[in-house]
Amino acid sequence: MKRLVEIRSQEFLCRERAARDFERRVFWLAQAEEWEQRALDEIAYHFRECNLAQGERNAA
């Protein structure tokens, strides 16, 4: 989950930059959206791994 915190931090920084850099606001918001998607992918990966591990324990 440490990785998720790092990803969310990057997303937050991009959103902060978007709020302060009007000329490149669209760019920074697009970057934030990419980081947000990475966070969602990381969450999905974590749940898949947990479900696989739980399935292996139940099968044993």
Q: What are the structure tokens assigned to 20, written together? A: 């302060």
Distance from C-alpha of 11 to C-alpha of 6, rounded to nearest angstrom? 9
The per-residue pLDDT for 60 is 61
Residue among 22, 54, 43, 20 at smallest CA distance from 35: 43
pTM: 0.80
The per-residue pLDDT for 25 is 98
The per-residue pLDDT for 9 is 98
Provide the 3-class DSSP secondary structure of residue 21.
coil
* One pLDDT digit (tens) per residue for the chain, 60 residues: 799 999 999 999 999 999 999 999 999 999 999 999 999 999 999 998 888 777 777 766
**CA 26 centroid distance within chain:** 19
**Do 57 and 19 meet the contact criterion of CB atoms below 8 Å apart?**
no
Q: Domain limits of the chain?
A: 2-59
